[in-house]
Structure 1
């Protein structure tokens, strides 16, 4: 659906994105991750034809340039803050761009905005404005939706609702490019991840690659944790003690089990400890910095 090749984006003489290439296919939910200043919002604006660049971007085979915005009819976007007219009602804001009245009404109901949609947008809370911005991005059955920090200002119930809507739209072929600092939420929806660091793409992989990360430690409990602590210390077995359990590196688990067996101490828990998604992302960025 969308193909970006060798993108270089500049702000004056300063480079914002270096030689970035990636693709987005129908129904794919791509998470765009990186530290502040890495260039996430810049890439999103560029895909909408809002910044100048070198390289190429094509959407459904049609080239995107900073002077050609015809592709926007097939793309919905929420970049930074919702672009709404404060003195118009929420419904009037939506009607400015809507091509399908039924689609508009369905979005209002599905997003739970019916009780306030006829009020002036200036009276909305941050969460209400965010929902309106998401509704604007989803109008007219877009083929691609670009969302920058979509969960900002949303409560738990609204966050779960937006997550379900994203899944439903993707199941019908809509692709998403989503940037968020709330990695735990992003992990629940995305099917692939692009990691940016120092204005470059350092990883572009399916999310399943992170789900299959092998355990590096084991969590261990026994019927006598105090005696176990003494035993491990006496035998110079490295461990950490967290939340009434021992954290032991995977290569040392055999020695730990042998010691416990020899001293007739029964195990009550032995489970692998895998890195969280956040830890895995941090490790990717740290390895990139070490290589530089």
Structure 2
């Protein structure tokens, strides 16, 4: 029954897909050559970005804000989230706010999401799920690898996409939320990212490489002087039922307040809903 429930979610019960359907070692030393290069950091940008996820592990934890934007049928919607993440334990918590629906109905209560290796837990999911129950999704079964499914991209998965960077350039210096950063722009390959990813993200990224309209992911990323991601924006091409009509999805993750306490407790078996989830 659990497996059938998970497959039903892949076909359109998941948060972001449901929104679309209803609308129709670090890089610490990279600045040593700045005086010589006129502001560009020393080192190959591709190799710098391959190490960005490792810099987050070294940092330990952070707070996060997420934004998922998509356009379909001439309408643009944005799903926003906010929470905390532990990069060593690979767990996090987000509160995700869905937008007002096209009919003008009031926005739903925020959905609480718990991110864990290989799993996504959601509370206040709706679709016939009792308010006190969690829904569990095996992220390895999702056609997008949970890069857009929950209405937010798992912060560490977002970082590990950069392990698949094939081409990148240094754009310049700027600031993000008061932090001095270096802006890079490039393209990652999800198949390559899957091969280089941590064990927990390997299968989800492999699934995303097959499930998206293309495995190529353009991105903009901003790294601080410790090589940590402060902001990353991916542009995915999501298949919404037909290969010839992909949906453009832009996922932005903002990371800040590194070292913030993270206390995430995953649901017990009895707290997880095992019944049927209604189509939305």
Q: TM-score range by the shorter chain?
A: under 0.3
Q: Is the strand fraction higher in 1 or 2? A: 2
With normalisation by structure 1, the TM-score equals: 0.24
Q: Is the helix fraction higher in 1 or 2? A: 1
- Which structure carries more relative contact order (alpha carbon 8 Å, separation 6+)? 2
With normalisation by structure 2, the TM-score equals: 0.25
